[in-house]
Amino acid sequence: MADCIPLHTSYLPDELLLEILDYLKDECDTQKTLVNCCLVNRQWYDVSIPLLYASPYLSGGAYALFVRTVCPSVNAHIKKSQLAGLVKVLDLSHIVHQGNKSTTARLLGRMKSSLEVFIAPQASFAVNCWASLSKCSRLRSLDLGLVSECVSYQSLTQTLRQLGALTELYLPRCSSRYDAARLAVTIRWPPRLRHLSLAGSIHGKFLGDMLRQPDNFPPGLTSLAVSHCPGLSHHGVRPLLQGLGQALTEVKLTDLPAVKQGRFNEILEWLPRLERLTIALDYIDENFAEPPDNFNPTRWREAKPLTSLTLVSSGHADLAAYPFTAVDLYSLIDERFLGRLRWLQIARSTGWHVAGEGAELGALEMLLWEVDEENWRNRRWHYEGLGAGVPVGMVYEEWEDTERGRRMRPRLRVVD
């Protein structure tokens, strides 16, 4: 057995090399490091090259070099690169003037057997890309959010029918052509879709036609984002949310200038299973998530299932014009109506971190810890069934210092 092992000191089993390289994924210059690893020797090259091409960072002049490497010839039958089959994530979000539409289509065609995530470029994605995209049978995430060219829903629908493995879909913010007469009975979402992001020229007519065919929505759809829709009012959003009310657990509502203050106050009633919410203060007021009459902490079992809340601002209104304040949120948590809330993110654009409201943020954070300790001691909600993993006599302060405790403890962050 010893005679089969190379004697040179640079040899390590492939399994150990992969374990070592796994630590590189959290470094900012991972790509450069992997390039250097490929230069060590043949063994290191064979182990490192799949990781190098799995999710390449592409920008500037590096994009042209990448294209020439994975697509050495326009005709794939003349000269084909095996490296194209290693690419799992193709992120072209940093490509603006360096690319062209035919190159994007060619890349998709060469990577159709391996591609799992595709983020489309702003200016170099067009109608000639749809055919290549539809052949990417392993695609799990499709992000068209940056596409600037008008998108035809007919082309999109025909492509989606071929992407049976797709779980995440982000529609473009640009204007799109929607022919209701032709598409009302033909559009089908991928059967495994879990997250849908609506943007751009989405309007009430489109959503209304979709809601008239509830069977079109996949059963696993649990996450929905609606943003950057200038023509969409609450009259279009509310029926959509109510129609998916029993399925959705995560929702994001931002950049909807046609939605007025207070229109989404009842969103927790529309979505009884909602766990994670991102919403602009522009759409809620002091009546947001108003508890039932005579609600008090003894009725904690009736608390909403919301565990994560992110509050942002559109920036279109004066900060003083937002009637929903940190004091209102404090009351909802203190009354235990939002007693399951653990993770709270407040955008700086809300102004809550400045003088006055800043003190309330400190009080909010202390309250989150207080409620979490109460839930821990009484083994409520996410702490149910925790007894087997907690030593007898352990107190909350000791628990929060454990690895599991650090993952589960509450957090309040001010984000940009």
Structural domains of the chain sorted by starting position, each given as residue range(s) with its CATH number in brackets: 1-54 (no CATH), 55-221 (3.80.10.10), 233-416 (3.80.10)
What distance lies between CA 312 and its chain's CA centroid?
16
Spatial distance between the Cα atoms of 124 and 105, rounded to a whole number of angstroms: 9
pLDDT at res. 181:
47
**Residue 278 and residue 327: Cα distance in Å, rounded?**
19
| CB-CB neighbours of 399 under 10 Å | 21
pTM assigned to the model? 0.88
* DSSP track, 41-79: -HHHHHHHHHHHHHS-B--THHHHHHHHHH-SSSSTTTS
**What does the pLDDT read at residue 107?**
94
Determine contact, residues 412/371, Cβ cutoff 8 Å.
no
What distance in Å separates the CA atoms of residue 402 and residue 416, rounded to the nearest whole number? 29
- List Cβ neighbours of 197 (8 Å cut-off, separation of 6 or more): 145, 168, 169, 170, 171, 224, 225, 226, 227, 252
Residue with tokens 């400190």: 362
Alpha-carbon span 184 to 157, nearest angstrom = 11
DSSP annotation string for 109-147:
HHTTTT--EEE--SSS--GGGHHHHTT-TT--EEE-TT-
Pairwise CA distance, residues 357 & 120, whole Å: 40
Q: What's the pLDDT score for residue 76?
A: 53
Strands (E), 132-283: 141-143, 151-152, 168-170, 176-177, 195-198, 223-227, 250-254, 276-280
Local confidence pLDDT in tens for the 416 residues of the chain: 445 555 455 678 888 888 888 887 766 678 888 999 899 888 989 999 999 999 999 988 889 999 999 988 766 555 678 899 999 999 999 998 887 899 999 999 999 999 999 999 998 998 889 999 999 999 999 999 999 888 877 888 889 989 999 999 999 887 665 555 454 445 678 999 999 999 887 776 677 777 777 677 888 999 999 999 888 889 889 988 998 899 999 999 999 999 999 999 999 999 999 999 999 999 999 999 999 888 888 888 999 999 999 999 987 666 566 789 999 999 999 999 999 999 999 999 888 887 565 678 889 999 999 999 999 999 999 888 887 668 888 899 998 889 889 999 999 999 98
Q: Do 260 and 234 touch, CB atoms closer than 8 A?
A: yes
Output the pLDDT for position 177. Answer: 58
